[in-house]
Structure 1
Amino acid sequence: MQLKKENILIVDDDINILELLQRHLKSWNYHTYKAISVKEAVNILKDTHIDLLITDLKMPKIDGFELIKFVSEHYPKLPKLVVTGFPSVQDSLVAIKSGVVDYLTKPFTKNELKSAIDASFKNSVAKNKINEKSKLDNKEKYGEIIGNSEKINDVIQIIERVKNNKATIFIKGESGTGKELVARAIHYQGKFSNAPFIAVNCGGIPENLLEAELFGYTKGAFTGADKERNGFFQAANGGTIFLDEIGNASLSVQSRLLRVLQEKEVVKLGAQKAEKVDVRIIAATNSNLKEMITKKTFREDLFYRLTVVEINVAPLKERKEDITLLVDKFLFKYGVEYKDRFIKITPEALKILERYNWPGNIRELENIIQRAVIMCDKIIDVEHLPDSLKFNINFPEEELITIKELEKKYIQKVLNHTNNNKTKAATILGITRKTLTQKLEK
């Protein structure tokens, strides 16, 4: 009968047990390796592909627990089966926590050994499948989006639904939460990723220029228009245009945007003829557009055209579990840029970052890490973080009192100091005993 492909390493300081295990394994056509010490076992593991480790726990010098810990970290996918004559509950718990698949107590029957080995291989396959699924389900990065919090996963789920169509999308969230990263993920994770992606900050372009920049203009359309020029919409044709801070757009720009959404066409400033465009529009703002609608500064019909699909990007204080991942990203980015190496951070400093509420969101976190990388040598510690992040005592404001009340408190303090000796108190206060007595009577 042909040997099975699995290699099994047996580790036990009892030669009789080793030979017994080897006989049983050979009868099932397994190829075996034997070791009478942990040192010998480690050498075999380094030089040989092993599919299952069977080890005793109680061995002289270095015991089986050390071997299990070594294998768990150096060969994490290798299944481990403990065979021991000391079946204490404590030993079982330690072994299981170390990643042991099964636990077999001496003496054991041949059938019990076979069942344990079969279970070890079966559990190992299942465990590896779970680990692979976990890696798929808990991605730490999606495009440029970093995080595995529930809030970020919700955003990613929506992106997955909209990335391959050109539905208009509205992203809302506080300043610095990464709205543009979400827009880029929608574009670059989908089937239109090879088409243009144009990002426009509507708040960063003067109001009188925004129309010309977005829609283009003809020669002579306004003073300084010495030639015809395409706008951002024409540049984004076939792809995506991201309109950040859409709340800053004037009513005139809003009116033109509405035409693009309704008619899928753009009219340049100074032109009579419309041009067809095939553009996905993603808009974003940290303004409250519904309040702006009430104040008549934002068109209600445009609002509903823009919000076919809404994505809400949560502030960093609501997804603090993502802070460690974001810190790692910025440590690598600025460590390479400023120090030409990866910078580390102490647990104490990281704890302060995780406690802080980040009103400036990810942008503020990046700024803090950037500064800390510059200020440190190799490791960011508490001293490299600004005082505004650290614990501060809020002392209550002192209550204002009248001069009479202040005088009364001071006299009482002096009397307490002199054990109510009025003569000594009067001397300290710089008044006569008679004056002190009058003040006390009042």
Structure 2
Amino acid sequence: MELNRENILIVDDDVHILELIQRHLQALNYHTYKAVSVKEAIAILQDKTIDLLITDLKMPGVDGLELVKYVSDHFPKIPKLVVTGYPSIDGALGAMKSGAIEYVTKPFTKEELKNAVSNALVNKPKKSPVLATKKVEEATYGEIIGQSKAIKKVIDVINRVKDNKATVFVTGESGTGKELVARSIHYMGKYRTAPFIAVNCGAIPENLLESELFGYAKGAFTGADEKRDGFFQAANKGTIFLDEIGNASLATQLRLLRVLQEKEVVRVGSQKVEPIDVRVIAATNLNLKDLIASGRFREDLYYRLTVVEFEVPPLRHRKEDILLLTKKFLLKYGVEFKDNLISITQEAVDALERYEWPGNIRELENTIQRAVIMCDKQVTIGDLPEQLKYNIDFPENEQSELLPLKIIEKNHILKVLEATNNNKTKAAKILQIDRKTLTEKIKKYT
């Protein structure tokens, strides 16, 4: 009898139910694969082309709902049919919300299974309504985008310091947007027409940082053929932003302390004092108190820098802003790379909002940039990196790597051969295959 094109994967920890469903489906001319656990099912999904997933919900260890979520992200085109002996409204809603198309309760008839399978195959997952990339000006403050409580607290501090020249110290993880905060303090205040100079102290070699910050006199060192201004002179009357201040040497810290205390600078190689009128905003992703304890940062400088101190929250603490930031990056890179407006599906947004973003806004921007390049006119979950998709946390006894079937088979054959001291007759008996088949598999895998 000729089989239909569809390959159906059946997942249930009850072997009798597995065989029952398999018999029904084979009688309907479907080709089937069986798995008794979620882990085994994922191995099959990674190795075979599957057209429909049928899974039980209640299974030991990892349940079927986790599998439905996983398949929705990693194999979004595969329809999902849930079969369970524990029917409930919450269970049905949870399964449907996670991506299941059909929901059938045990016991069921062959006709009920047939209808559910037919409906699932016909009603394959469709793209959810598109979220238009509307403008986000209403949620913008300077260069900051967001409406979350966490970012509103930051904006409140900015409003309190923007019109005075108090020294500001900004902390936060890498990629949270500390420089954007510094720019907003400057450009949203009354000194916006004055210079804003951003300096990454970690990117300038230690032996050059002093001369770059404070300038140098003619003849100060080999190659100093003329007097030159530093970043502080360039920022006079305005704002200087010192990023990664924790990387500055102790000698540079001492010079910076003089600037903050006396409002004056001395060029490298000079004794002449020059008055300076600069607002200093410093930032770091390091713990300066730890550096002070280890003797790598001056305590007196720390207290001079932290007149006003606040933290820029990590993206995982302001997930309400992810969609707004995503729209901004979609517009930016859609125009840059495609000369077009790029939209995004709800499934992709859900994945973005679920992820913890260790690299914060910088990581989100890079992710959207890549997705825009990889997509056509719409970013789908398939355009996102694997780490953003739903992953299953297996119990400790199931934490081994998920492998394709052919790798699992190879490893098991080699393990049996090792246990039988390469006795092919004994190994074939244990594996319940004939010796000739075993010999062919050994040739294939070695």
TM-score range, shorter chain: 0.5 to 0.7
The one-letter code matched in structure 2 to 1:173 is G
Residue matched to 1:228: 227
1:415 to partner: Cα distance:
8.7
Deviations 1:255-277 (A, max 9, x none): 00000000000000111111000
Residue matched to 2:321: 322
| 1:390 aligns to 2:389 (yes or no) | yes
Alignment of structure 1 residues 24-423 onto 2, 5 Å: 139-393=138-392, 395-397=398-400
| Cα distance in 2 between the residues matched to 1:357 and 1:290 | 27
Specify whether residues 370 and 416 from structure 1 end up closer, same or farther in structure 2 by C-alpha distance, changes over 3 A only.
closer
| Cα distance in 1 between the residues matched to 2:417 and 2:343 | 59
TM-score of the superposed pair, with normalisation by structure 2: 0.59
| Cα distance in 1 between the residues matched to 2:328 and 2:379 | 14
SS in 1 for 2:218: coil
Considering Cα pairs closer than 8 Å and 6+ residues apart, tell me whether 1 or 2 has the greater RCO.
2
1:139 to partner: Cα distance:
4.9
Deviations 1:131-181 (A, max 9, x none): xxxxxxx95110000000001000000001110000000000000000000
Specify whether residues 203 and 414 from structure 1 end up closer, same or farther in structure 2 by C-alpha distance, changes over 3 A only.
same
SS in 2 for 1:345: strand
SS in 2 for 1:325: helix
| Cα distance in 1 between the residues matched to 2:237 and 2:143 | 22
Whether the 8 Å CA contact 1:139–1:148 is kept in 2: the answer is no
Whether the 8 Å CA contact 1:267–1:275 is kept in 2: the answer is yes
| Cα distance in 2 between the residues matched to 1:330 and 1:416 | 55
1:206 to partner: Cα distance:
0.8
Aligned length: 286
Deviations 1:86-143 (A, max 9, x none): xxxxxxxxxxxxxxxxxxxxxxxxxxxxxxxxxxxxxxxxxxxxxxxxxxxx951100
1:393 to partner: Cα distance:
3.9
The one-letter code matched in structure 2 to 1:235 is A
SS in 2 for 1:296: coil
Whether the 8 Å CA contact 1:346–1:379 is kept in 2: the answer is yes
1:414 to partner: Cα distance:
6.6
1:387 to partner: Cα distance:
1.1
Residue matched to 1:106: none
The one-letter code matched in structure 1 to 2:270 is A
| Cα distance in 2 between the residues matched to 1:179 and 1:405 | 58
| Cα distance in 1 between the residues matched to 2:430 and 2:419 | 14
| Cα distance in 2 between the residues matched to 1:296 and 1:139 | 46
Whether the 8 Å CA contact 1:293–1:300 is kept in 2: the answer is yes
| Cα distance in 2 between the residues matched to 1:414 and 1:322 | 61
Residue matched to 1:34: none
| Cα distance in 1 between the residues matched to 2:349 and 2:302 | 41
1:391 to partner: Cα distance:
2.1
CA RMSD, Structure 1 to Structure 2 (Å):
3.0
Q: Give the fraction of aligned pairs with identical amino acids, expressed as a percent.
A: 67
Deviations 1:6-44 (A, max 9, x none): xxxxxxxxxxxxxxxxxxxxxxxxxxxxxxxxxxxxxxx
| Cα distance in 2 between the residues matched to 1:391 and 1:316 | 19
Residue matched to 2:58: none
Deviations 1:284-324 (A, max 9, x none): 00011110000000000000100000120011011111000
| Cα distance in 1 between the residues matched to 2:151 and 2:335 | 27
SS in 2 for 1:266: strand
SS in 2 for 1:242: strand
Show structure 1 runs of 5+ residues with no match: 1-137, 419-424, 430-442
Residue matched to 2:111: none
TM-score of the superposed pair, with normalisation by structure 1: 0.60
Q: Could you list the runs of 4 or more consecutive aligned residues of structure 1 that deviate by over 6 angstroms after TM superposition? A: 402-407, 413-418
Show structure 2 runs of 5+ residues with no match: 1-136, 402-414, 421-425, 439-446
| Cα distance in 2 between the residues matched to 1:197 and 1:416 | 73
The one-letter code matched in structure 2 to 1:263 is E
| Cα distance in 2 between the residues matched to 1:376 and 1:351 | 17
| Cα distance in 2 between the residues matched to 1:416 and 1:288 | 58
| Cα distance in 2 between the residues matched to 1:416 and 1:215 | 77
Larger Rg: 1
| Cα distance in 2 between the residues matched to 1:230 and 1:416 | 80
Specify whether residues 253 and 415 from structure 1 end up closer, same or farther in structure 2 by C-alpha distance, changes over 3 A only.
closer
| Cα distance in 2 between the residues matched to 1:330 and 1:341 | 13
| Cα distance in 2 between the residues matched to 1:405 and 1:384 | 43
Specify whether residues 404 and 243 from structure 1 end up closer, same or farther in structure 2 by C-alpha distance, changes over 3 A only.
same
Whether the 8 Å CA contact 1:345–1:379 is kept in 2: the answer is yes
1:392 to partner: Cα distance:
3.0
Specify whether residues 188 and 404 from structure 1 end up closer, same or farther in structure 2 by C-alpha distance, changes over 3 A only.
same
Specify whether residues 229 and 383 from structure 1 end up closer, same or farther in structure 2 by C-alpha distance, changes over 3 A only.
same
Whether the 8 Å CA contact 1:199–1:241 is kept in 2: the answer is yes
Alignment of structure 1 residues 421-436 onto 2, 5 Å: none
Query: Which 10-residue stretch deviates more, 383-392 or 290-299?
Result: 383-392
